Amino acid sequence: MAAVEHSAEEILLAFAAAVRSAGVMVTADRARSFVDAVGRLALDRRASVFWAGRATLCASPDDLPTYQRTFEAWFSVEHSSATRVSPSATSVSGASLDDDGGGREDGRNQLRAIASRRERLRHRDVATLDDAERALLHRMFEELPVRLPTRQTRRKHPDRHGDVDRVRTLRDQLRRGGEPGPLRRARAPRKPRRVVWLIDVSGSMAPYADSLLRLAHRVVEAAPHQVEVFTLGTRLTRVTGAMRVPDTEKALALAGRAVPDWSGGTRLGEVLRVFNDRWGQRVVARGAVVVIASDGWERGDPALLGRQTERLHHLARRIVWSNPHRGKVGYEPIQRGITAVLPHVDSFIGGHSMQSFEELLDVLANA
């Protein structure tokens, strides 16, 4: 199938949307200013595009690291050889898209080829990729921005911009013999909320298990001690220790050796009951965000799966069910396992492409 041609303006606006998705508050006016700024510069120079976006899309120094990561993900042919640009630098050398060897039209073509290739890959089913596309997908996993859900702690700390701390204010007043004085203020900080991944590695989920474990590993990197990872099949296996290994390939290899039922059968109801009995009722699932990645094919009793999902729903703060068939055209949730769990699931989303994985991370961050 022929590749869809996109204009340079469409590519630049899509990049601005990617920066917004990464967490930078990019308004429509800023996006149009970015396109206008690039149009006034040399489009064939990577440095010109970088600095135009940095000047128009970022509103504060806190936005610069996120912008830089997103820029390198979009406009680098090879992630490993991407030119690193310090946010505090005043000049960029050797960062052209075509090494200054081509004209304006060559730069536009390079820009279109690099960005559109990644954009097309974002929408592809990971089960249909060839080796080269899968290698690029693996690099895209490493560039995914991750924001964990947070919760407010009970203990408050002094903060001049916080709410009035009535207890400390009253104690100060008593020390002064009842004389009024300045108000004491405090704020309860937020900390990452626990996240639990339950990933189906049965035969029907085999084409997606590798990508789902890579996604879980990316989340574990963000908060190693706040994320737990388990695999589901004919039995429950905890692979959190393997997922905490920094190197992704080594982590997946360790997880593969630890899972005895890879690409086997599925007994989701029984395995979920084991999780609830051994882990869920303790600290792991209480108040946590639980992500279940499965297509819902159940060999056992679907009613048992529904009861155990309901039980887990009472323990967790939120249950997110990711089904790789959910985002495909014509899909209907008619499997008995899926119909049994849907009443007890807070979010039911896809899980077959990079775009659906990004949506999953957004849901996770706002849970």
- Are 33 and 105 part of one and the same domain? yes
Contact call for residues 43 and 108 (beta carbons, < 8 A): yes
- Are 72 and 160 part of one and the same domain? no
- Are 180 and 228 part of one and the same domain? no
Q: What string of DSSP letters covers 63-78?
A: GHHHHHHHHHHHS-SS
Domain assignment present for residue 234? The answer is: yes
| Residue that terminates a domain, selected from 136, 162, 188 | 188
- Are 243 and 164 part of one and the same domain? no
- Are 289 and 337 part of one and the same domain? yes
Mean per-residue pLDDT of the chain: 82
- Are 202 and 307 part of one and the same domain? yes
- Are 353 and 217 part of one and the same domain? yes
Looking up residue 338, the CATH number of its domain turns out to be 3.40.50.410
Place 317 in a pLDDT band, splitting at 50, 70 and 90.
Answer: very high
Q: At what angle do helices 64-74 and 104-122 cross, to 10 degrees?
A: 100
Per-residue CA distances from 169 to 153, 204, 278 (Å) = 21, 61, 45
Domain assignment present for residue 272? The answer is: yes
pLDDT tens per residue across span 26-73: 887 788 888 888 887 766 677 888 888 888 898 888 888 888 888 888
pLDDT at 105 (0 to 100): 54
- Are 316 and 252 part of one and the same domain? yes
201: burial class by Cβ within 10 Å (0-12, 13-18, 19+)? buried
pLDDT at 82 (0 to 100): 36
| Residue that terminates a domain, selected from 188, 213, 230 | 188
Domain count, the chain: 3
- Are 75 and 210 part of one and the same domain? no
Domain housing 40: 8-82+94-122
pLDDT at 304 (0 to 100): 94
Burial 299-333 (b: 16+ CB within 10 A, else e): eeebebbbbbbebbbebbbbbbbbbbbbbeeeeee
Burial 141-176 (b: 16+ CB within 10 A, else e): eebbbeebbeeeeeebeeeeeeeebeeebeebeeee
Domain assignment present for residue 143? The answer is: no
- Are 227 and 257 part of one and the same domain? yes
- The model scores a pTM over 0.75: no
pLDDT tens per residue across span 215-271: 999 999 988 999 999 999 889 999 999 999 999 999 999 999 999 888 888 889 999
CB atoms near residue 360 (< 10 Å) = 21
